[in-house]
Amino acid sequence: ALASASRPPEPKAEAPTVAEVVKAFLADAEGRLKPSTLRSYRDFLNPFAARHGGLRSDRLTAKLAEDYARKPAWSNSTRHDFLSVLAIALKWAGCPLLGIRKPPMESRGASALVSDEDHASLYEAAPDYFKPFLKLLHLTGARPGEVANITAENFDEANGMVRLKEHKCSRHGQSRTVFLPPEAVAILRGLRATHGEG
């Protein structure tokens, strides 16, 4: 017992660098996340690692991360998303980023809406194969990803709706129903008649 008591303590392993954390986190996320989510994680984390990759992850401060997020071209929502993703990656690696202050998300509200005039211009300029997609976006108010996921199988013509399994909040186990006005039902009926499935 006396011999073991006098033994010097084991040296602590050094924390991984920011670049090592980002590389390992993205590799792990590849099998778990949707491709679109993984792409946005890469778009946030890889440039950050290119700038601060040599820094040990336990020496990364909230201030440094917040300063990086203050890019003039980024909105508060983008800053919020970047800081959230960075915090997730560091927590996953066992090096939580403490005291980080994320700006509140901004609601785009009316500024996100496409006016009837702009929609008409886009529709006129679009190739024929893309016109139904634009029309369905405008008629339903659904997200582009939701309209892209409409299939013959999830189109319920009798009830005038689409039931989506894959959508923005599907990871939380929530279903998404898009209700269709008669013109949208007619468009989807025609597409199903042409393509049959898928």
Residues 103-138: tens digit of each pLDDT: 887 766 556 677 888 889 999 999 999 999 999 999
167 falls in which pLDDT band (50, 70, 90)? very low
Tell me the percentage of the chain whose pLDDT exceeds 90.
62
Give the pLDDT score at 170: 47
- Would the pLDDT of 165 be above 50? yes
Give the pLDDT score at 136: 93
Give the pLDDT score at 115: 82
Weakest-pLDDT range from 39-48, 50-59, 105-114: 105-114
Average pLDDT over residues 138-160: 90
Letter for the amino acid at 100?
Answer: I
1 falls in which pLDDT band (50, 70, 90)? very low
pTM beyond 0.75, yes or no: no
Q: What is the DSSP string of the chain?
A: -HHHHTSPPPPPPPPPBHHHHHHHHHHHHTTTS-HHHHHHHHHHHHHHHHHHTTSBGGG--HHHHHHHH--TT--HHHHHHHHHHHHHHHHHTT---TT--PPPPPP-GGGGPPPHHHHHHHHHHS-GGGHHHHHHHHHH---HHHHHT--TTTEETTTTEEEESSSTTGGGT--EEEE--HHHHHHHHHHHHHH---
Average pLDDT over residues 29-41: 88
